[in-house]
Amino acid sequence: MGALRAAIDELDRHLVALLAVRQTYMERAAQLKPRRELVRDEARVEEVVSRVVAEAARVGLSPAIAEPVWRTLIERCIAHELEAFDRRAL
């Protein structure tokens, strides 16, 4: 069990690093978008979720895990991007 937990901890470290990269992309998007209302794009949200669910199926990840995780991730990223957008206006 200890080795399995260590492997999970290592994977979590990699996931956190990847999410940090994703965050920098969101911050850059906030700099590029000319208007605050462009931060949330429902069509893009659904496109991303659809692509993620398809990739999850391809690699064997349960859609019951993938979809809610990504929807939460997207919502938190949108909130972060809105904050970044608002900071740039100061």
Span 61-72, pLDDT tens digits: 999 999 999 999
- Is 88's pLDDT higher than 90? no
Confidence of residue 89 (pLDDT cuts 50, 70, 90): low
Rounded to two decimals, what is the model's pTM? 0.91
Domains of the chain: 2-88 (1.20.59.10)
Confidence of residue 16 (pLDDT cuts 50, 70, 90): very high
As a whole number of angstroms, the distance between CA 18 and CA 21 comes to 5
Span 18-59, pLDDT tens digits: 999 999 999 999 999 999 999 999 999 999 999 999 999 999
3-class SS at 40?
coil
Cβ pair 73, 34 in contact under 8 A: no
